Structure 1
Amino acid sequence: MTTLTDRPQTALVVIDVQNGVMAEAYERDAVVANIALLVERARASHVPVVWVQHSSDELPLESEAWQYIPELTIGDGEPVVRKLYGDSFEGTDLEAVLASQGVGRLVVAGAQTDACIRSTLHGAFVRGYDATLVSDAHTTEDLSAYGAPTPDLVVAHTNLYWQYQTAPGREAGIVETAAVDFEALAPTRG
């Protein structure tokens, strides 16, 4: 029910599943397995997969830390959006990439829950996109030494509040990996 006209398609957006981001990630292997399954199912249903890749002092461009983890392979022709800010739309070509494919609905997975995932979800929602968070396909590192909740609580809280997001003409929510039905969200064929 996106507010973006003539944008009925869905895309899977995979955010920052990079070596440096995932090195100390909570439930890393389970989250990576779920993301890999989502990517496989999206491709099989002809749903675009859009990859987002962050650069920073900790993730210098082209460094080993900046690279996507080896368990995930970016497919030929799949767009990679490079970013410098938490919101994957900010200062990037993500909007143009999605518009070119008629995308108005996002299924979001990746890292970090309390930074780029939240920022991108909100960024998408205020721009008119429907935004679904895959509840068991996002993660973060343990920042509790700095006063943050433990990672399990960060993930749980984000899932809790995102399932109740509302705004006129847009839909938000969460879904587990097993319940993501890309066939139902697949591009229309004509």
Structure 2
Amino acid sequence: MTTLPDRPNTALLVIDVQNDVVAGAHDRDRVVATIAVLVGKARAAGAPVVWVQHSGEQLPQGSDGWQFVPELSRDESEPLVPKRYADAFEETDLEEVLAGLRVGRLIVSGAQTDECIRSTLHGAVVRGYDATLVSDAHTTEDQSEWGAPPPGLVIAHTNLYWHHHTAPGRTAGTAPADAVDFSASAPSR
């Protein structure tokens, strides 16, 4: 149960599913399709969908590469959180957005697994949120030429350690997209 008072709601975070971010991502099409299903599921349940969009030197704001992938469409009523750091909470208004929506539990999807997904998961838990990683709705590119494991192993390892992550008064865990429940209950284990 979240340690944030009066935060009964659950939100879906869609992190950095942008053209250049996922262009070379592992299993890109399947992951994007799974995220699209999650977006529909959240909307049908009346759960907020919060879109996070990275920009930086390699990803200039307004460029084609900075745009969300065409397979996903953000409703204009859904919050958009621009960011410049891996942790979507760092120097953004994400916390204010979530507080306004009375959200204490996050369902996390997107890219890149080994950077923005991991950083945001940890950022959420240290700030008092419950955080469920959708095990089949995050991806990363192959960085093995720089010493990283192949992307499939990066994703599997992240799922493994987040499934068992704990913190006082907060829940973490993983769930496949078909088991995600947008009610305020604790995540599936």
CA distance in structure 1 between the partners assigned to 2:123 and 2:85 by the alignment: 11
CA distance in structure 2 between the partners assigned to 1:129 and 1:142 by the alignment: 30
Match of 1:75 in 2: 75
Match of 1:179 in 2: 179
Identity %: 66
Match of 1:60 in 2: 60
Which amino acid counterpart does residue 146 of structure 2 have in structure 1?
Answer: Y
CA distance in structure 1 between the partners assigned to 2:58 and 2:80 by the alignment: 19
CA distance in structure 2 between the partners assigned to 1:166 and 1:23 by the alignment: 33
Q: Does 1:150 align with 2:121?
A: no
Which amino acid counterpart does residue 70 of structure 2 have in structure 1?
Answer: P
Match of 1:84 in 2: 84
Match of 2:21 in 1: 21
Shift in Å, 1:58? 1.3
Q: Does 1:97 align with 2:103?
A: no
Structure 1, unmatched stretches of 5+, are none
SS at match of 1:172: strand
Match of 1:168 in 2: 168
Which amino acid counterpart does residue 149 of structure 1 have in structure 2?
Answer: P
> TM-score, with normalisation over the residues of structure 1?
0.96
Shift in Å, 1:181? 2.0
CA distance in structure 1 between the partners assigned to 2:58 and 2:38 by the alignment: 27
CA distance in structure 2 between the partners assigned to 1:38 and 1:185 by the alignment: 16
Match of 2:128 in 1: 128
Match of 1:37 in 2: 37
CA contact (8 A) 2:8 2:184 kept: no
Which amino acid counterpart does residue 164 of structure 2 have in structure 1?
Answer: Y
Q: Does 1:118 align with 2:118?
A: yes
Which amino acid counterpart does residue 12 of structure 2 have in structure 1?
Answer: L
Match of 2:12 in 1: 12
Hey, which bits of structure 1, 4+ residues long, moved more than 4 A?
Answer: none
SS at match of 1:72: coil
Q: Give me the CA root mean square deviation.
A: 0.9
Deviations 1:94-128 (A, max 9, x none): 00000000000000000000000000000000000
Which amino acid counterpart does residue 27 of structure 1 have in structure 2?
Answer: D
Structure 2, unmatched stretches of 5+, are none
* Count of paired positions: 185
CA distance in structure 1 between the partners assigned to 2:181 and 2:107 by the alignment: 11
Which amino acid counterpart does residue 104 of structure 1 have in structure 2?
Answer: G
Shift in Å, 1:57? 1.3
